[in-house]
Structure 1
Amino acid sequence: MIDAGKQAFLTGLFEAAVTAADAHAAMAQHLPARPKGRTVVVGAGKGAAQLAAAFEDLWDGPLSGVVVTRYGYACPTRQIRVMEAAHPVPDSAGLAATQALFDAVAGLGPDDLVVALVCGGGSALLPCPPEGLELANEQALNEVLLASGAPIGVMNAIRKHASGIKGGRLAAAAHPARVVSLVVSDVPGDDPAQVASGPTVPDVVTLADTLKMIEARGLVLPPAVLDRLQPAPLPDDPVFARNEVRVVASARISLEAAARAAEAQGMPAVILSDAIEGEAEVIGQMHAAIAREVIAQGRPFKAPVVILSGGETTVTLRHKDGRGGRNTAFLLGFAQAIDGVQGITALAADTDGIDGSEDNAGAFADGTTATRMRAAGIDPANALRRNDAWGAFDAAGALFVPGPTGTNVNDFRAILISP
């Protein structure tokens, strides 16, 4: 089994990262000035309810509004309505929530303020098929994109051009009211236009750019969707002139908090990057190569050390009945690559508390993990091929299950090297 002390240490780093993205603390320094008119709050994402509750506590004045979050992620609010919908594949409840957001910003004037609380997961929670398409078309598109292994920027570019709300369209609908977007970033590079596919933040990526991405990656979209892709508004559109965007929490901020937590316990910490993308198992193998180099050669870092990284990897789905998500897939590739190596212990987890299809955020691994999987009758390589990383780590007794955290700043990875 994973050493209990090392497991507790890594769990503490995860908790420090999540605390740094706490909704109340994240927004406290980013509140806009009170408007002459009304204040309307809209929002979407896995942590939208917690953001709404925090905003209510912080705001000095009347307000109203509605946000949508994933089923099971709601929390009590006083003035802002919280709706729940499906993630990662949208459902009819998401359609109703999308309409509720449009209704909330309808008929506003130039003295009114719209505060948009946006975080990861909003893309699926806000289905809005354009004219000529139905929810089933958007569901089919989402399933194709999730199985494609395409980077999040490519997926979101396509979503924005196949939607009536993404790509700044909700902000455009609120015009002439001023829109201030408070964004918790879960995307590599912290581009706010990518978070939840930017319902209130327009993107510079055009329809022509998107079509080139589709062709370059050989993506096969549902024909009905491909035929109805439509241009999204661009940032220089006058309807966005008075708007403002503030990134209030991100992977970078959370990784820096985890590094400080490690160093406070006397453990040196290094951050590889907060914007790592690529196929999850391959990125896991790359991290393992670095860890083995530290053990064998004392480079590029000296042990003891904890190596931190974030970003958003992808998983190419080969089996629709696979269990798990990108963090367990990352760690399964990692575990095989450090098989038999002593002194390496790792945690990979999604900061929202749920990694993919099950109830775990991720898992732990060390040099004995792959061996324990085989002893339990699980071939790690075959589990990867079957997209069943969850089953492999469940058999090894190494799942990490903290429950929903109320925030989302993407993947968190911590590798403790202590020979």
Structure 2
Amino acid sequence: MTSFSLLRELSSRAVAVADPMLIVPNHLPPRPPGRVVVVGAGKASARMAEAVEAAWGPCEGLVITRYGHARPCQSIEIVEAAHPVPDAAGVAATERMLALLSSLGADDFVLTLISGGASSLLCAPAPGLTLEDKKAINAALLASGAPIGEMNLVRKHLSCVKGGQLAAAAYPASMLCLMISDVPGDEPAIIGSGPTVAEDSASSTARAILDKWKIPVSPQVDAALRESMVVGSADPRLASTENRVIAAPAQSIAAAADMAMAQGCEVVVLGTDLEGEARIVAQEQAQLALRYQAERPAGSPPLLLLSGGELTVTRTGDGSGGPNAEFCLALAIALNGADGIFAIACDTDGVDGAAEIAGAVIGPDTLTKAPAAGVDAKAALLDNDAHSFFAAIEDQVITGPTLTNVNDFRAILIV
């Protein structure tokens, strides 16, 4: 198996073990008697709904997923909407979901399915805000380089559905929420902006985050923050809600590590919940890889450095790229053609940034292939144009929708 083949196989393994069809049945209780309603949102939510009906049979419900990520379900309605910036389809579907939950009583049961992407797909602007207001804030947050936890906290305080409000809408029905984590630390309150999880932060914290990242605040957004409707932990409407994380990045990293060791590699896990600027983390990992390479005795088995988490990109250019492609581009520049070092970085949902591209691979010849393809690595990095760079040298990783989402997968192979 070549180095590139091994890296791609490891990435595929990380995705495969997070398939909702494998995971969801293990966490389903017996189907409750009476009225059962299934709701959810996220890039894996349609696949999760498909798994629920495979176990329980046809169910009443509504799930919102990203365009192109729908799955055939028996009775649960699947609606597609925009990600990472919300659109009218997501707003309309969220309104219908809230109306459906408001019809429930104390004897009813709600199964909620949440995965990464729910923050934009589950969209109900706070009173006084329009969809355009929300889109502007989301776009500014995405371009700012803010970590996902801070982005989602702001989203909660500008919403009628996040920060526990979805669960509150279903009161007095009981609710079980199954979550696939795409956030560092696997904190339920951050996954999808915690629509079923209590939020005790003050709206002033959200305002401070916007100020920190120099994001302009309109009078409408300022007013909405002052009237935030997040649901605190003492609110009795959340007493009958259980939240359960059923898949997380650490499980996928562990599966890839096992596979690599079976192929004769030594493995070092650098962390499963790394955060930070993609190009800076790439420089740090390049230095680490070069150090490991220099210190290893001749004849040592291949060494694999694995990491997960969610990196960010502060956009200063006009190019097309996401954190994984930018990580690879910055890594290639930092390694400067070092012999015997290969790498892959992919988003496990198949979407890096807003593009239908999972990520990229690099090797010792990455920089030398660029001139013949008419691209320059350093110029591409300066313009945040990693996707165009890797498209030109034909080293993109394109998987299509994977129907799951456990965040970034990065592997550096030293042979």
Answer yes or no: is 1:182 the counterpart of 2:184: no
Q: Could you tell me which amino acid in structure 2 is paired with residue 249 of structure 1? A: A
Q: 1:333 aligns with which of 330, 336, 343?
A: 330
Q: 1:148 aligns with which of 144, 151, 155?
A: 144
Q: Could you tell me which amino acid in structure 2 is paired with residue 96 of structure 1? A: A
Q: Which residue of 1 aligns with 2:85?
A: 89
Query: How far apart, in 1, do the equivalents of 2:286 and 2:199 lie?
Result: 36
Tell me if the contact between 1:207 and 1:231 (Cα under 8 Å) persists in the aligned partners.
no
1:114-139 Cα deviation digits (max 9, x unpaired): 11100001111122111111111111
Q: Which residue of 1 aligns with 2:215?
A: 219
Shift in Å, 1:263: 1.2
Q: Could you tell me which amino acid in structure 2 is paired with residue 209 of structure 1? A: T
Tell me if the contact between 1:339 and 1:371 (Cα under 8 Å) persists in the aligned partners.
no
Answer yes or no: is 1:35 the counterpart of 2:32: yes
Query: How far apart, in 1, do the equivalents of 2:340 and 2:166 lie?
Result: 50
Q: 1:408 aligns with which of 358, 383, 405?
A: 405
Query: How far apart, in 2, do the equivalents of 1:268 and 1:328 lie?
Result: 25
Answer yes or no: is 1:116 the counterpart of 2:112: yes
Q: Which residue of 1 aligns with 2:234?
A: 236
Tell me if the contact between 2:66 and 2:82 (Cα under 8 Å) persists in the aligned partners.
yes
Query: How far apart, in 2, do the equivalents of 1:379 and 1:39 lie?
Result: 56
Helix, strand or coil for the counterpart of 1:29?
A: helix
1:7-36 Cα deviation digits (max 9, x unpaired): 111111111111110102111221134334
Helix, strand or coil for the counterpart of 2:284?
A: helix
How many residues end up aligned between the 2 structures?
A: 411
Helix, strand or coil for the counterpart of 2:11?
A: helix
Q: 1:312 aligns with which of 297, 300, 310?
A: 310
Shift in Å, 1:212: 3.1
Tell me if the contact between 1:269 and 1:305 (Cα under 8 Å) persists in the aligned partners.
yes
Query: How far apart, in 2, do the equivalents of 1:225 and 1:303 lie?
Result: 56
Query: Is the deviation greater in 103-112 or in 221-230?
Result: 221-230
Tell me if the contact between 1:324 and 1:388 (Cα under 8 Å) persists in the aligned partners.
yes
Query: How far apart, in 2, do the equivalents of 1:152 and 1:145 lie?
Result: 9
Q: 2:356 aligns with which of 355, 359, 366?
A: 359
Query: How far apart, in 2, do the equivalents of 1:15 and 1:222 lie?
Result: 44
Q: 1:102 aligns with which of 94, 98, 103?
A: 98
What are structure 2's unaligned runs of at least 5 residues?
none
1:304-363 Cα deviation digits (max 9, x unpaired): 2111111001111123x4212110011111010111201110010000012123322000
Q: Could you tell me which amino acid in structure 1 is paired with residue 382 of structure 2? A: R
Q: Which residue of 2 aligns with 1:291?
A: 289
Q: Which residue of 2 aligns with 1:263?
A: 261
Helix, strand or coil for the counterpart of 1:228?
A: helix
Query: Is the deviation greater in 392-401 or in 23-32?
Result: 23-32
Answer yes or no: is 1:159 the counterpart of 2:155: yes
Query: How far apart, in 2, do the equivalents of 1:124 and 1:281 lie?
Result: 25
Q: Which residue of 1 aligns with 2:202?
A: 206
Tell me if the contact between 1:133 and 1:224 (Cα under 8 Å) persists in the aligned partners.
yes
Q: Could you tell me which amino acid in structure 2 is paired with residue 74 of structure 1? A: A
Q: Which residue of 2 aligns with 1:131?
A: 127
Q: Could you tell me which amino acid in structure 2 is paired with residue 366 of structure 1? A: G
1:51-100 Cα deviation digits (max 9, x unpaired): 100011122x6631010111111111001100000111111111111112
Query: CA 1:137 to 1:216, structure 2 compared with 1: closer, same or farther past 3 Å?
Result: closer
Q: Which residue of 1 aligns with 2:11?
A: 14
Tell me if the contact between 1:294 and 1:303 (Cα under 8 Å) persists in the aligned partners.
no
Q: 1:391 aligns with which of 388, 393, 403?
A: 388
Query: How far apart, in 2, do the equivalents of 1:136 and 1:360 lie?
Result: 26
Answer yes or no: is 1:49 the counterpart of 2:46: yes
Q: Could you tell me which amino acid in structure 2 is paired with residue 46 of structure 1? A: K
Query: CA 1:121 to 1:340, structure 2 compared with 1: closer, same or farther past 3 Å?
Result: same
Query: CA 1:408 to 1:37, structure 2 compared with 1: closer, same or farther past 3 Å?
Result: same
Q: Could you tell me which amino acid in structure 1 is paired with residue 35 of structure 2? A: R
Query: CA 1:296 to 1:29, structure 2 compared with 1: closer, same or farther past 3 Å?
Result: same
Helix, strand or coil for the counterpart of 1:68?
A: strand
Tell me if the contact between 1:32 and 1:180 (Cα under 8 Å) persists in the aligned partners.
no
Tell me if the contact between 1:42 and 1:104 (Cα under 8 Å) persists in the aligned partners.
no
Query: How far apart, in 2, do the equivalents of 1:412 and 1:222 lie?
Result: 37
1:358-383 Cα deviation digits (max 9, x unpaired): 32200000122122223423221111
Query: How far apart, in 1, do the equivalents of 2:258 and 2:405 lie?
Result: 20
Q: 2:339 aligns with which of 338, 342, 346?
A: 342
Query: How far apart, in 2, do the equivalents of 1:327 and 1:238 lie?
Result: 42
Q: Could you tell me which amino acid in structure 1 is paired with residue 2 of structure 2? A: G
Q: Which residue of 2 aligns with 1:76?
A: 72
Q: Which residue of 2 aligns with 1:254?
A: 252
What are structure 1's unaligned runs of at least 5 residues?
none
CA RMSD in angstroms comes to: 1.6
Query: Is the deviation greater in 106-115 or in 38-47?
Result: 106-115
Tell me if the contact between 2:163 and 2:195 (Cα under 8 Å) persists in the aligned partners.
yes
Tell me if the contact between 1:144 and 1:221 (Cα under 8 Å) persists in the aligned partners.
no
Helix, strand or coil for the counterpart of 1:210?
A: helix
Tell me if the contact between 2:43 and 2:349 (Cα under 8 Å) persists in the aligned partners.
yes
Q: Could you tell me which amino acid in structure 2 is paired with residue 284 of structure 1? A: A
* 4+ residue segments displaced more than 4 Å: none
Query: How far apart, in 2, do the equivalents of 1:176 and 1:392 lie?
Result: 53
Tell me if the contact between 2:264 and 2:301 (Cα under 8 Å) persists in the aligned partners.
no
Q: 2:164 aligns with which of 163, 168, 179?
A: 168
Q: Percent identity?
A: 47
Q: Could you tell me which amino acid in structure 2 is paired with residue 15 of structure 1? A: S
Q: Could you tell me which amino acid in structure 1 is paired with residue 27 of structure 2? A: H
